[in-house]
Amino acid sequence: MTDKIPVTVLTGYLGAGKTTLLNRILTEQHGRRYAVIVNEFGEIGIDNDLVVGADEEIFEMNNGCICCTVRGDLIRIIEGLMKRRGKFDAIIVETTGVADPAPVAQTFFVDADVKEAARLDAVVTLADAKFLLQRLADAPEAKNQIAFADVIVLNKTDLVTPDELAEVEARIRAINPYATLHRTVKAAVPLDAVLGRNAFDLERILDIEPRFLEAEDHDHHDHEHHGRGDHEHDHDCGPDCGHDHHDHDHAHHGESHGLKHYHDEDMHSVSIRHEGEVDPNLFVPWLNDFVQAEGADILRCKGIVAFENEPRRFVFQGVHMILDGDLQREWREDEPRVSRLVFIGRKLNEEAIRDAFTTNVLRAAS
Ligand SMILES: Nc1nc2c(ncn2[C@@H]2O[C@H](COP(=O)(O)OP(=O)(O)OP(=O)(O)O)[C@@H](O)[C@H]2O)c(=O)[nH]1
Q: What residue spans define the domains of the chain? A: 5-203, 245-365
Q: What is the pLDDT of residue 319?
A: 72
Q: Tell me if 324 sits within 8 A of 349, measured CB to CB.
A: no
Q: Is the pTM of this model over 0.80?
A: no
Q: What is the pLDDT of residue 137?
A: 85
The candidate with the shortest Cα–Cα distance to 323, out of 243, 253, 256, is 243
Q: If you measure from the C-alpha of residue 220 to the centroid of ligand 1, how many angstroms do you get, rounded to a whole number?
A: 37
Q: How would CATH label the architecture of 245-365? A: 2-Layer Sandwich (3.30)
Task: Identify the CATH class of 5-203.
Answer: alpha beta
Q: If you measure from the C-alpha of residue 82 to the centroid of ligand 1, how many angstroms do you get, rounded to a whole number?
A: 31
| Identical topology for domains 5-203 and 245-365 | no
Q: Provide the b/e sequence for 64-101 (b: ≥16 CB within 10 Å).
A: bbebeebbbbbbebbeebeeeeeebebbbbbbbbbbbb
Task: Quote the CA–CA distance of 259 and 366 in Å, as a whole number.
Answer: 22
Q: How buried is residue 298: exposed, middle or buried, by Cβ count under 10 Å (0-12/13-18/19+)?
A: buried
If one residue of 10, 13, 14, 20 were mutated to test the ligand 1 pocket, choosing by the most ligand atoms within 8 A of its CB, it would be: 20
Q: If you measure from the C-alpha of residue 271 to the centroid of ligand 1, how many angstroms do you get, rounded to a whole number?
A: 35
Question: What confidence tier does 200 reach under pLDDT thresholds 50, 70, 90?
Answer: low
Rounded average pLDDT over 100-118: 79
Could you give the angle at which helices 140-148 and 162-175 cross, rounded to 10 degrees? 80
Q: Tell me if 270 sits within 8 A of 183, measured CB to CB.
A: no
- Index of the ligand 1 atom closest to the CA of residue 47: 23
Neighbour count for residue 162 (Cβ, 10 Å): 8
Residue 134 reports pLDDT greater than 80: yes
Q: Is the ipTM of this complex over 0.95?
A: yes
pLDDT digits (tens, 9 = 90+) for 16-64: 999 899 989 888 877 888 888 876 543 333 444 444 443 444 554 444 3
- Mention every residue, 6+ apart, whose C-beta is less than 8 A from residue 324: 109, 247, 248, 250, 316, 317, 318
Q: What is the pLDDT of residue 246?
A: 32
